[in-house]
Amino acid sequence: MQFDPTLFLELLFSGLFQGAVYALIGTGLTLIWGTMQIVNFAHCTFMTLAAYITFWLFALFNLDPLISLPAIFALFFLVGFLFEKFSIEPLIGKPREATLLLTLGVSLIIQNAILLVWKANPRIVNPIFAGSLRFYGLNINIPRFISFVIATISALLLHVFLTKTIYGTAIRGTCQNRTAAHLMGINVKMVYAFSFGLGMACAGLAGVLICLFFPIDPFIGDPFIVMTFSVIVMGGLGNYLGAIFSGFILGVIEYFAAYWIGSLLRLTVPLLIFIIVLLLKPRGLFGD
């Protein structure tokens, strides 16, 4: 096969654009895992819900996704906060499979409720800036590019928030040792709810962003579930920069696999990599 630099770059960029969304969801998930040691199975289903709310705002009130972005962020922060307070907090101290099964059940409920309300037809949001840009012979899809920029910036902002502010320090302290954090006067329960809300807000943002360039359907979150878990495992648990990097890496791998192996197997290759990484390097590629 002849090497085609344009094609190579286009695949690379598409992969990076997709990877940015993985990175964003992955940071949210790794935040939840890092603080509470909980695997939130419903994360990607909440992302689908956010996508549908964006779609609704667009279809009913003609609100552009970029305008509804802050509102969705706030809404999902609140949803995550309350969800943690009322449904996960009572389960802390119970066997760990309890939260896994709970989030699995919640994701089933939400997914099928979406199916019931909005039906299975794919829906499309057409932002005003849709179209593509020619850049030195490369086709760059503008909505994808915008979502890439927003996702990267928010993932990095989250990282800065966690490392530079006092609240972030409290969260990271709780990650490292919850008893010690409690003794230092950190309100651990509040930290839990807060970080769950923040993680969920990331999922909400990702939902808005995928609206920009994907037709959405109720099952859009399914491939994301395993992919984003691959992202956080590969990045090393609780390692935010690692999650961002591996999000990009997996996105690129997915697109190259889709081109060279076939689009049906686009997820198989990253998942195989996930299985191998988990078995050989359980602490992640960037872990200690």
Partner 1 sequence: MNEKIRFVYLYVPFCLFLLFVSYFGPIMVCDIIFFSLMYAIASIGWAIGMYAGQLSFGHAAFFGIGAYVAAISYVKYHVTPWVAFIIAPLISTLLAVAITFPSARYGVRGPFYSLLTLALAEVMRTTFLAWDFTGRALGVWYPIVPDSLIDFQFHSTHAPYVAIALIILTVGLSLLIKMQQTRVSYGFITTRNDEDAAQAIGVDTLKFRVLSSALSAIITSMSGILYAQFTLFVSPENAIGTYVNVDILLPAVIGGVFSPYGPLLGSFIINPLMWLFRILFGAEVLHMIIRGILLVTMVYISPRGLIGLFTKISSKKEGIGSEEA
Give the helix/strand (H/E) hosting 61.
Answer: helix 43-61
Q: Identify whether the C-beta of residue 108 lies closer than 8 Å to the C-beta of residue 89.
A: no
> Which two three-digit tokens encode residue 27?
């940071």
Residue 88 or 208: which CB sits closer to partner 1?
A: 88
The footprint of partner 1 on residues 131-190 (CB under 8 A) is: none
Distances (CA, A) of 36 to 33, 136, 184, 226: 5, 47, 18, 20
The footprint of partner 1 on residues 37-56 (CB under 8 A) is: 39
Q: Which of 229, 240, 248, 255 binds partner 1 (CB under 8 A)?
A: 229
Residue 33 or 148: which CB sits closer to partner 1?
A: 33
> Which two three-digit tokens encode residue 198?
């923040």
Residue 112 or 132: which CB sits closer to partner 1?
A: 112
Tell me the closest approach of the beta carbon of residue 273 to partner 1, in angstroms.
10
Q: What is the DSSP letter of 3?
A: -
Candidate ranges 1-9, 10-18, 185-193, 278-286; the one touching partner 1 (CB under 8 A): 278-286
Q: Identify whether the C-beta of residue 120 lies closer than 8 Å to the C-beta of residue 218.
A: yes
Q: Residues touching partner 1: how many (CB under 8 A)?
A: 41
Q: Which of 78, 278, 286, 287 binds partner 1 (CB under 8 A)?
A: 278
Q: Does 90 bind partner 1 (CB under 8 A)?
A: yes
Q: Which of 226, 256, 286, 287 binds partner 1 (CB under 8 A)?
A: 226
Q: What residues pair up with 133 in beta bridges, in sequence order?
A: 140
Tell me the closest approach of the beta carbon of residue 197 to partner 1, in angstroms.
20
The footprint of partner 1 on residues 115-134 (CB under 8 A) is: 115-116
Roughly what angle, to the nearest 10 degrees, separates helices 166-176 and 142-164? 80
Q: Identify whether the C-beta of residue 200 lies closer than 8 Å to the C-beta of residue 28.
A: yes
How many other β-carbons are positioned within 10 Å of the β-carbon of residue 262?
10
3-class SS at 34?
Answer: helix
> Which two three-digit tokens encode residue 156?
């990095």
> Which two three-digit tokens encode residue 68?
């509804």
Q: Identify whether the C-beta of residue 239 lies closer than 8 Å to the C-beta of residue 184.
A: no
Tell me the closest approach of the beta carbon of residue 233 to partner 1, in angstroms.
7
3-class SS at 139?
Answer: strand
Q: Does 109 bind partner 1 (CB under 8 A)?
A: yes
Q: Does 100 bind partner 1 (CB under 8 A)?
A: yes
> Which two three-digit tokens encode residue 121?
């037809």
Q: Which of 70, 105, 122, 215 binds partner 1 (CB under 8 A)?
A: 105
Q: Does 215 bind partner 1 (CB under 8 A)?
A: no
Residue 19 or 221: which CB sits closer to partner 1?
A: 221
Q: Does 272 bind partner 1 (CB under 8 A)?
A: yes
Q: Does 255 bind partner 1 (CB under 8 A)?
A: no
Residue 154 or 230: which CB sits closer to partner 1?
A: 230
Gap between the Cα atoms of 250 and 257, Å rounded: 10
| Residues at the contact surface with partner 1, assessed by CB under 8 A | 39, 90-91, 94-98, 100-102, 104-109, 111-113, 115-116, 222, 225-226, 229-230, 233, 262, 264-265, 267-268, 271-272, 274-275, 278-280, 282
